[in-house]
Amino acid sequence: MLNKLARWSRIKSPWILHLNSGACNACDIEIIAALTPRFDVERFGILLKATPRHADVIIATGPATRQMRDRIIRIYDQVPDPKFVIAVGACAMSGCVYRGAYNIMGGIDQVIPVNMYVPGCPARPDAIIDGVVKLLGKL
């Protein structure tokens, strides 16, 4: 019964955490744009949260830099179970143009498991919303 309620509330109102692990801000401003009046994801109950302890879904942008590696793992551990990760943009998927640079480990999936990939450089707000909705459909 309680599980059913938790699952219902998670689908109806997923709270997201925005994690930047070395992105160029392009995907980040597109995520913020998805929260503002033109796209307005709040109508789906999606809220941006500042702390990982409140979040259900991590939206990760940018390639994983060596300096951020331990912090990414710490943030992932702080998110309560069950947790989901969406990698937004080509950098979070594979490293994009930065692939091969000495401080880049590759995509975010080199560090934490990823549930959903949203391609694009940067991904459009519509694509990000589509990614979140498809993830919710899998729950």
- Given the complex with another protein, which of 97 and 139 has the nearer CB atom? 97
Q: Nearest approach, Cβ of 108 to another protein (angstroms)?
A: 13
- According to DSSP, residue 80 is labeled P
Among candidate residues 38, 5, 10, 22, the one with its CA nearest the CA of residue 129: 38
Q: Nearest approach, Cβ of 127 to another protein (angstroms)?
A: 11
CA–CA separation, 21 and 74 (whole Å): 12
Amino acid at 55: A
Residues within the interface to another protein (CB under 8 A): 17-30, 32-33, 36-38, 49-52, 62-63, 65, 67-68, 71, 75, 96-98, 100-104, 121-122, 124
- Given the complex with another protein, which of 3 and 52 has the nearer CB atom? 52
Q: Nearest approach, Cβ of 97 to another protein (angstroms)?
A: 5
CA–CA separation, 56 and 85 (whole Å): 9
Q: Nearest approach, Cβ of 95 to another protein (angstroms)?
A: 9
Q: Please identify which residue in the block is written with the tokens 């091969």.
A: 100
- Given the complex with another protein, which of 65 and 115 has the nearer CB atom? 65
Three-class secondary structure of residue 57 per DSSP: strand
